[in-house]
Structure 1
């Protein structure tokens, strides 16, 4: 989605210049401007190459940005260097060295700028969400280290796992936390206090870093999701053997589990045996298919885009519940049918196609449709961040060009077609 006024495809000069006036970048810029008679300037809609060319041509290091109402800020060589140098690797490194949760919160506070920069540069959604999730993983692992430093070594091995969007490596600009704890079966009743304190330390730290507490309580602080391995085996066995509505929901969440820190072997055996048992139970698979069809693409009878009709987000499309979630649910069903261990949605679709669970043509179409929907969602959030508003999942289709709306509608039609195929238990040709 091309946008005018990018700074090397990342952010507008107006946005960057305002950071200078707000004290976020090189403080010497305004001083240099005051001392320069008749300075060279650029408008806010100039692009990054304009800045670089002018700086090199004139041998200058500061450029005032002038809008219709006067000075909007100043861009300097230092600003450009700093802005381009920061990457997810920088944030992960800073997280790994953070001395406390407050320092970690300062690291995650830089994530919105990274999201806006990557999405503005045209990076694909799965690359951006993977990098955002990598930072969340690094923050979680650092909190585990800090918890151990405060509480002492664990009495028995354990494994911290993420589920939800972090588990699938699909975090965007708005993410709550979904996590759980698997404890070694050697744990004794008096060990519970240690792991309760560990969960409280890590979950509270994540909340402070912007990964807010899960509204549904799907966190390690909930004793239900902080259990020995034998209990987790019983959970999955019960959900598979008696797939009531709650079991469907819980199984859907837990099939996205991904280890973050601790003893990896606690998950490896559990995942393999659960996939095996679940895929062989046709009743459970049927329930999971039904669960995957609860969220429909936002299409009307005449195949037009349908927006929310009431409430705060009237006339918008929920790009999470009606956009990406239907594809996430399909990917989970395909993974179950093909006993596919990976939990990332796009990777699941590719693996399902390779395994013959879905046809090559159907798989390619669905991956393209998912990319279109997820890219539109992420571009919407990046645009909100650049405008200084809180990101959400509610996209007003009126903000899109006719070309973009047509592509989005076609993507939703493909998802609907694939839902129909899985409902009938058939492969698309």
Structure 2
């Protein structure tokens, strides 16, 4: 039944307010409204589900709300996805001629427009804007689903397995592999015979070149109609992400999460010796990296992200309560904060009409180093493309300010020093940023050193990563060639006093303790940054910088390991102090009273501070002369 002219006009007005319809021409809008049928679904009723078979329509939600739950989820459960007015459902299934993978159930009175598959395909073939949107949306849905399946969280030791377990100990057998020219027919036959879900593709020396999995069969072989006599190299995923056998389960977990992959080759001397899958990595508990990050990626607004931020803090306390190491905990916290920030950037970019492919949102400071703790504020910046129009500066600043205030609403306070992308000084084009860094390094005054120290730990979070890469390359090259500036940074770092008295005992402050950030972690961080700049170390994390600098300086491995160990211990005390402070805003989250530490903890803290002092002495010998 075709809607009345007045109802069609109402539909058109509604559609024009939401993408992709806001960019579609009048004939395309008219086609959608005249071919779509209005559907009503009562609370608790199903709009679409896998049992219905191949999807017959795309659904556009006009009013109401729908929850999409997977086979193992309950409606509204931890892994369910919420859809609201303006969302499109079942696009991928309708285009691919398959059933939906989730059950879509209304949670309130819901009105939707159902566009039949035939009309959907016709519209996609005639409207470039609609087709482009569907392709992007389909890719985003696939990526989100893939990441939700890949990510997991890990507890401390369970029997012989833990976050610290080397991957070489997790792999029980050599990987089943084949040469890149092996026919698909033979590959599929071996996978069936050996009951495996993936085939590693290696060269003659056993180095991994790619991987072909059961999930690739539909998208890369069946649907495109690839002949089974074709070589596997034509359909394998390449390049393949691999980790050395010495890497830990924690590193494998984050690698799988960040790249949205299910399998990870394990190599020794460049040769594949095993294959770790998501099933080999066990879940932490119900509150997991998978659950928290999945909800963050699907958050429809700032309120949902704020709820997700609270989950990040609960998750961090759970990690610490279960004995997860400080470096693993801070790595996971930073990863989740990245997910939250990237989602907020995407939401605000869409709201403000900012093209995210022409900008790059940067994390600075502790977030840039991947070392965020429970109590953290904002340090961020925005790099604009070189040809970014001057007339769009006001719009992009408004977008950045909205992200800053959104992060503040999520519990990441606004930076008192104004180091935020919404400030004009922190929102520049790539050439302007290069000029700024060159100016700081040329002048070297106190404010220049402070600005440089904050910005040198930059890392891309969202947008065009190439902009961040170009800026880092410029900064590294300029810093290595400026011995005077490096010396000024070192002398500035040496002004920070290690809280040890002349006997080598801890010298407590007026509150009977130590500021673990300013008098502990910062000493390691500043020394690591200076050596990283001087030696061309690409890493941004303090621990990785210290180990790489030690190797480049030729110091004994035990010495650089002690630097990393001292930093890790100070960080673990910081995290515990923040966990103890909880939501008490009057507490000093980075301060620890010595009388709250056990005898062993006091001795270990004293040793960590002694190592920090030795690191400072090395810095003095290298630069204060």
Q: CA deviation at 1:385?
A: 3.5
In 2, the alpha carbon distance for the partners of 1:105 and 1:386 equals 15
Runs of 4 or more off by more than 3 Å in structure 1? 383-391
- Equivalent in the alignment of 1:363: 560
- Report if aligned partners of 2:434, 2:474 keep a CA contact under 8 Å in 1: no
Mapped pair 1:422 → 2:422: no
Alignment partner of 2:476 out of 244, 257, 275: 275
Q: CA deviation at 1:88?
A: 2.5
- Equivalent in the alignment of 2:447: 246
Q: What is the 5 A alignment of 1:388-399?
A: 392-399=589-596
Mapped pair 1:103 → 2:301: no
Structure 1 stretch displaced more, 146-155 or 251-260: 146-155
CA 1:283–1:359: 2 relative to 1, 3 Å? farther
- Equivalent in the alignment of 1:177: 378
- Equivalent in the alignment of 2:432: 231
In 2, the alpha carbon distance for the partners of 1:101 and 1:387 equals 24
- Equivalent in the alignment of 1:344: 541
State the TM-score, normalized to the length of structure 2.
0.53
- Equivalent in the alignment of 2:505: 304
CA 1:273–1:358: 2 relative to 1, 3 Å? farther
Q: What is the 5 A alignment of 1:67-78?
A: none
Per-residue CA distance 1:63-93 (angstroms, 9 max, x = gap): xxxxxxxxxxxxxxxxxxx992112232111
- Report if aligned partners of 1:203, 1:221 keep a CA contact under 8 Å in 2: yes
Per-residue CA distance 1:7-61 (angstroms, 9 max, x = gap): xxxxxxxxxxxxxxxxxxxxxxxxxxxxxxxxxxxxxxxxxx9xxxxxxxxxxxx
- Equivalent in the alignment of 2:597: 400
Mapped pair 1:192 → 2:393: yes
- Report if aligned partners of 1:370, 1:411 keep a CA contact under 8 Å in 2: yes
Per-residue CA distance 1:87-137 (angstroms, 9 max, x = gap): 223211111111100110011112232122111211111110111111111
CA 1:189–1:369: 2 relative to 1, 3 Å? same
- Report if aligned partners of 1:158, 1:262 keep a CA contact under 8 Å in 2: yes
Q: CA deviation at 1:380?
A: 2.3
CA 1:421–1:149: 2 relative to 1, 3 Å? same
Mapped pair 1:295 → 2:496: yes
Per-residue CA distance 1:258-286 (angstroms, 9 max, x = gap): 00001111121221121122112110110
In 2, the alpha carbon distance for the partners of 1:335 and 1:281 equals 14
CA 1:192–1:84: 2 relative to 1, 3 Å? same
Structure 2, gaps ≥5 residues long? 1-157, 159-282
In 2, the alpha carbon distance for the partners of 1:391 and 1:101 equals 28
In 2, the alpha carbon distance for the partners of 1:251 and 1:294 equals 17
Structure number with higher strand proportion:
2
In 2, the alpha carbon distance for the partners of 1:108 and 1:319 equals 24
- Report if aligned partners of 1:133, 1:169 keep a CA contact under 8 Å in 2: yes
- Equivalent in the alignment of 1:380: 577
In 2, the alpha carbon distance for the partners of 1:365 and 1:156 equals 42
Q: Relative contact order, CA 8 A, sep 6+: which one is greater?
A: 1
Structure ID, larger Rg: 2
- Report if aligned partners of 2:354, 2:399 keep a CA contact under 8 Å in 1: no
CA 1:274–1:162: 2 relative to 1, 3 Å? same
Mapped pair 1:131 → 2:340: no
Q: CA deviation at 1:421?
A: 1.3
- Report if aligned partners of 1:116, 1:383 keep a CA contact under 8 Å in 2: no
Per-residue CA distance 1:287-334 (angstroms, 9 max, x = gap): 11112223222111221112221xxxx112111101111111111011
Q: CA RMSD in A?
A: 2.3
In 1, the alpha carbon distance for the partners of 2:443 and 2:374 equals 36
- What is the DSSP-based 3-state SS (H/G/I as helix, E as strand, rest coil) of the residue aligned with 2:622? coil
Give the total of aligned pairs.
Answer: 343
- What is the DSSP-based 3-state SS (H/G/I as helix, E as strand, rest coil) of the residue aligned with 1:259? strand
Q: CA deviation at 1:390?
A: 5.9
In 1, the alpha carbon distance for the partners of 2:393 and 2:568 equals 43
Mapped pair 1:265 → 2:462: no
- What is the DSSP-based 3-state SS (H/G/I as helix, E as strand, rest coil) of the residue aligned with 2:285? helix
CA 1:277–1:339: 2 relative to 1, 3 Å? same
- Equivalent in the alignment of 2:129: none
Structure 1 stretch displaced more, 348-357 or 168-177: 348-357
- Equivalent in the alignment of 1:112: 313
Q: CA deviation at 1:177?
A: 0.5
Mapped pair 1:168 → 2:369: yes
Q: CA deviation at 1:372?
A: 1.6
